[in-house]
Structure 1
Amino acid sequence: MDILSEPTAAHLDGASELERFLAAHPDIEAVEYLITDSNGVLRGKWAPVESLKKAFTDGINFPVSMFGLDVWGREVMETGLHVETGDRDGFCKAVPGSLRIVPWAERPTAQVLLTMHAERGEPFDGDPRVCLQRIVDRMTAMGLTPCCAIELEFYLLDPKLPPMPNGMMSPVYRATSGPTPQNMYALEDLAEYRAVFSDIWDYGKQQGLPIDTMVSEAAPGQFEVNLKHRAEPMAAADDGVMLRRLVVEVARKHGLKASFMAKPFMDVAGNGFHVHVSLLDALGHNVFADPVTGEGKLKHCIGGLIDTMNAATLLFVPTWNGYRRMQPGSYAPTTASWGYNNRSVGVRIPASPAEARRLEHRIAGADANPYLVLAAIFAGMIEGLEREITPPPAIVRNAYDEPAQRLPDAMDDAIRLFERSEFIRRAMGVEYRSLFAHLKKAEVAAFEAEITPLERTTYL
């Protein structure tokens, strides 16, 4: 397991970090302020570089109602965060360690992640980053640190190609008709788009992103970028957010579109968001690798994840489209299951040397909010450790053929399980449980109110 162990800027004093950054980049003219909303969408503003001092001290004003927006950016009044409260401002402070250059910008520009604080200076509970931090703090109180790595899949689409028969933009390599070729792990696919992946690599290095491997995935035009393990779980989530933005912007530079949509095409693989997790003790040792207690702790963590998986599915699969990805035989898990070296299950124990013992959580779609995905995973692991939950038997063969507990296969079912869950209440609080459920109910209502082209061509 390749763990980033060197000191990072996350440990620097904010003023010192800003001073060092400006000394290293004296030509910077502008800054992009970025904050991740409840749906995992980056929102923010552009400002002159002189405003950075305020971001690292008092904070930049943003309305707290940004966390009450649906995936289209529309107000969801049921969240209670909008005009009924006067649409008040919160104060968004710079996240230490997230001040980076923007390599693709036309003029010298910086970017920085923000996190929301309320009027008295306390963290705002509706910020997904705050939700994750509270659960990480619980882990820390147990003497444990999650060490994790994120893998993200995406499609490269080419607007210059003829569209597909349904009008959808075509992926690179995708024929508009006829059988769909599969060329998994093809080096020639990476080589064909060498310029794109070279920029992802180079820009990622300039931004301090711990990019590890890149691979051509299971469908034409589908790729995956993996990040190295980090022993700083908040930084790992930040990296996931920044990686998605980097890929989108590099694709734009090359006249392409990168899509992290969970299931853009019904006949080929969807885009997953896989998380590898181990737990470190106070000395930095992997507790899963302990020859005496490691297997037991690993099993308890798996037990907690299996026990809480149905309730947390809405956090892993937060979009209407995401439930189309969870199809039998698709390598997107459909059951609350686990196994050794088995990619058909929800929680996989990869083949590895003992010192790299870890679990891989495979449920989330690539469009999920990284902060909420990690929060749900860590909270499930805590649940398993505290209650010493024993998991069901490991799945040895094809999990799609086994009688394991089915995950919800529709968004409204996932919402119902989520908003009734005592686990979600304990992990995230009753207020956040209500907030997120209202956002997702609004999304379901919007899709249910839409008459699809297939309906019209069939019945009109």
Structure 2
Amino acid sequence: MTAPTEAADFPAADPSARIEVLLVGMNGDLRGKMIPLKAEDKVWKNTVRLPASTQSLDIWGDDNDDITKISLTLGDPDGICTPDRNSLTTLPWGPAGSKQVLATMHTLDGEPHYVCPRAILANVMKRFEEKGLTPVVATELEFYVMEPDFRETGVPMPPKALVMNGEVEGYQLYDMRATAAMGDFLETVREYCDHMGLPADATTAEFGPGQFEVNLLHKPDAMAAADDCIYLKRVVDFAARRHGFKATCMAKPYGDHAGSGLHVHASIIDKDGRNVLDAKGGDPLKLKSITAGMLRSMQDAQLIFAPFANSYRRFQPGSFAPDKIDWGFGNRGTAIRIPDSQGPAARIEHRVAGADANPHLLLAAILGGILLGLDEDLDPGQVTTPDSAPENPDMLTYDFLTAVERFRASAFIRQIFGAEYQRIYGDTKRKEAMAYLRTVSSFDYQTYLPRI
């Protein structure tokens, strides 16, 4: 983020201006405190505190103490919200002069808390630093915009500007009429990104009605790239509110329309500035080994890429959401795509994650897979082409609970995320999966009740 960081970079403050101190939760939710701007000093003196359990809340906001044992079991102790000045930026939907900053939770002893997604990603980044390597990362976020009355109707409805006589007007992929119809909203997204210094690049209409994608430019700092992505989700949310819409990064809001993904582009720069993924100017075997590392860890990390029950509705045969663990050159149907590029632009695209993924945990998992390929000489197996593909490839699961159990048992996950976070995240998601299985849906009633 090319964010304003000095007082002179911010507009003159309204008397009601504030600074929001934000923590990244387990589910990619942002929780924190609003502090009057006149009391901003306390933020930088590390005196802002919240319970450490704030970042282990489940999707319903329950403190989950029966699983985590870090809430009431310990008296719900405080942690220190340590702000990252690199993430300090404006709050364009707030009173003039307002700011926001992302924080990393620390224990009262000053150690990064194991339950903090930013701390987890920082630990992975240190392993690259020890090797003299720097990950360069960019993200592409898809999302849907819809009418705001879903709470009353119980179902999402595309924006009226994209519907005729109650019917969606076909697919809107790259259709400039769709971007024009939603132009005011998209202009606000751009305005907010510019205001905050987010490196937003291209915006496109995607397949689904009211579905769009915003690309963020690459950063030679994985933490900054994850911060940019989670800020972009916030931008989309507040821009939609401004125009009377609801925006969602839910992976599959419509059963009969495309799901939303969060694609990650990554390259690795060595201490001499060379891109180790450049197959022509670098080491082709290392490119393949890194690809293999990401493929090898993909099943174990699928719960990070697809963190909710709804996420698994996105994985459909024949869709652009991959269900096979495969790789290809320039192939958007594979889980790992190697674009046709060389030199500094040479990179790998990881195409598995849904838009609902937590950006910090997502990058930790992907970079962890890359580390596997750096530490060992691995073979990714047969490349997938339009003319040939591996027989009986390993598959991603369509089942939430299966992904949960793989995550809970994985040595790779334990190595990247730590044993305690593996336990807390895995057991919390198992609780969510079991609640999902207990829910009898309208499909059950409509399909089985009349016939069985």
Give the TM-score taking structure 1 as reference length.
0.91
Q: 1:423 aligns with which of 388, 406, 412?
A: 412
8 A contact 1:276–1:360 mirrored in 2:
yes
**Residues of 2 paired with 1:255 and 1:401: CA distance?**
48
AA in 2 matched with 1:182:
Y
**Residues of 2 paired with 1:375 and 1:360: CA distance?**
15
Partner of 2:205: 216
Q: 1:281: how far off?
A: 1.1
Q: Does 1:85 align with 2:74?
A: yes
Q: What's the Cα RMSD here? A: 2.3
Partner of 1:341: 330
**Residues of 2 paired with 1:453 and 1:176: CA distance?**
26
Partner of 2:316: 327
Matches within 5 A, 1:445-456: 445-456=434-445
Partner of 1:264: 253
Partner of 2:368: 379
Partner of 2:54: 66
**Residues of 1 paired with 2:206 and 2:400: CA distance?**
27
Q: 1:366: how far off?
A: 0.2
Of 375-384 and 436-445, the range deviating more from structure 2: 436-445
Q: 2:18 aligns with which of 23, 27, 30?
A: 30
**Residues of 2 paired with 1:161 and 1:38: CA distance?**
25
Q: Does 1:206 align with 2:164?
A: no
Q: 1:151 aligns with which of 140, 145, 155?
A: 140
C-alpha spacing 1:353/1:401, structure 2 compared with 1 (3 Å)? closer
Q: 1:160: how far off?
A: 6.9
**Residues of 2 paired with 1:309 and 1:389: CA distance?**
14
Q: 1:404: how far off?
A: 1.4
- Alpha-carbon deviations, 1:239-297, whole Å to 9, x = none? 00000000110011011111110001111100000000000111332122263643122
8 A contact 1:59–1:94 mirrored in 2:
no
**Residues of 2 paired with 1:149 and 1:124: CA distance?**
26
Q: Does 1:50 align with 2:38?
A: yes
Q: Does 1:138 align with 2:124?
A: no
Q: 1:206: how far off?
A: 1.1
**Residues of 1 paired with 2:182 and 2:44: CA distance?**
39
8 A contact 1:215–1:225 mirrored in 2:
yes
SS in 1 for 2:263: strand
Partner of 2:215: 226
**Residues of 2 paired with 1:25 and 1:250: CA distance?**
20
Aligned residues: 445
Of 286-295 and 92-101, the range deviating more from structure 2: 286-295
- Alpha-carbon deviations, 1:332-353, whole Å to 9, x = none? 0001110011111100011224
8 A contact 1:162–1:176 mirrored in 2:
no
**Residues of 2 paired with 1:290 and 1:335: CA distance?**
24
Q: Which runs of 5+ in 2 are unaligned?
A: none
C-alpha spacing 1:297/1:174, structure 2 compared with 1 (3 Å)? farther
Give the TM-score taking structure 2 as reference length.
0.93
AA in 1 matched with 2:352:
I
Q: 1:177: how far off?
A: 5.9
Of 296-305 and 441-450, the range deviating more from structure 2: 441-450
Q: 1:455: how far off?
A: 2.7
AA in 1 matched with 2:225:
A
AA in 2 matched with 1:318:
P
**Residues of 1 paired with 2:45 and 2:388: CA distance?**
51
AA in 1 matched with 2:409:
R
AA in 2 matched with 1:37:
G
Q: Does 1:125 align with 2:114?
A: yes
C-alpha spacing 1:400/1:242, structure 2 compared with 1 (3 Å)? farther
C-alpha spacing 1:171/1:440, structure 2 compared with 1 (3 Å)? farther
Partner of 2:155: 167
**Residues of 2 paired with 1:401 and 1:178: CA distance?**
40
Q: 1:52: how far off?
A: 2.3
8 A contact 2:268–2:277 mirrored in 1:
yes
- Alpha-carbon deviations, 1:52-71, whole Å to 9, x = none? 22222224110011122111
Q: 1:401: how far off?
A: 9.0
Q: 2:339 aligns with which of 334, 350, 356?
A: 350
**Residues of 2 paired with 1:9 and 1:163: CA distance?**
39
- Alpha-carbon deviations, 1:399-453, whole Å to 9, x = none? 9995211112111100111111111111111111101101101211221222223
C-alpha spacing 1:400/1:30, structure 2 compared with 1 (3 Å)? farther
SS in 2 for 1:44: strand
C-alpha spacing 1:46/1:161, structure 2 compared with 1 (3 Å)? closer
Regions of 4+ moved over 6 Å = 160-164, 398-401
**Residues of 2 paired with 1:162 and 1:96: CA distance?**
37
8 A contact 1:201–1:211 mirrored in 2:
yes
C-alpha spacing 1:88/1:291, structure 2 compared with 1 (3 Å)? same
Q: 1:305 aligns with which of 274, 286, 294?
A: 294
8 A contact 2:10–2:90 mirrored in 1:
no
Q: 1:156: how far off?
A: 0.9
Identity %: 37
8 A contact 2:281–2:343 mirrored in 1:
no
SS in 1 for 2:157: coil
C-alpha spacing 1:123/1:51, structure 2 compared with 1 (3 Å)? farther
Matches within 5 A, 1:233-244: 233-244=222-233
C-alpha spacing 1:422/1:161, structure 2 compared with 1 (3 Å)? closer
Q: Which runs of 5+ in 1 are unaligned?
A: 11-16
Q: 1:218: how far off?
A: 1.2
Partner of 1:21: 7
**Residues of 2 paired with 1:31 and 1:24: CA distance?**
12
Partner of 2:379: 390
SS in 2 for 1:279: strand
8 A contact 1:345–1:399 mirrored in 2:
no
